[in-house]
Amino acid sequence: MSAGARRFSARVVAALRDAKMLAIRAGAEHRFIGIWVVVVEGRVFVRSWSLKPRSWYRTFLEEPRGTIQVDGREIAVRAVQTRSERLKDDVSRAYLEKYDTPGSVKYARDLGRKRSRDTTTELQPSG
């Protein structure tokens, strides 16, 4: 992690660890949408299941600033693409552990496949 990287408070990390959905807005133009989120080593990660041209993931590639909603408040975030293969493995495991209901496990597995794995993004507080 870079020397300038910031961390969310323990309270925010706990809320995200326990939440099944994260409300996120990529850039300033998009609306808030719900996506799955995991916490690994106290850090917050998301992956894209769909790589549509106007997706939150593609928006973050062009403009890495956005907003999440946690505990009734909005927090400005910066999206950082994850390069570490070890972290990507840990994020894949975290998705399988967190989203383990019969209706969710297929999607959790899909998020571990190469296409989604390559979208692994760490959210960091910005501002």
d(CA 33, CA 78): 17
**Which residues are paired to 79 by β-bridges?**
123
pTM for the predicted model, two decimal places:
0.93
User: For the domain with range 10-125, which CATH number is right: 3.40.50.720, 3.30.70.100, 2.30.110.10, 2.40.128.20?
Assistant: 2.30.110.10
pLDDT at position 52: 83
pLDDT at 64 (0 to 100): 95
Q: What is the pLDDT of residue 37?
A: 98
* Torsions phi, psi for 9 (to 5 deg): -65, 160
CB 68 within 8 A of CB 23: yes
Pick out the chain residues at pLDDT < 50.
Answer: 1-3
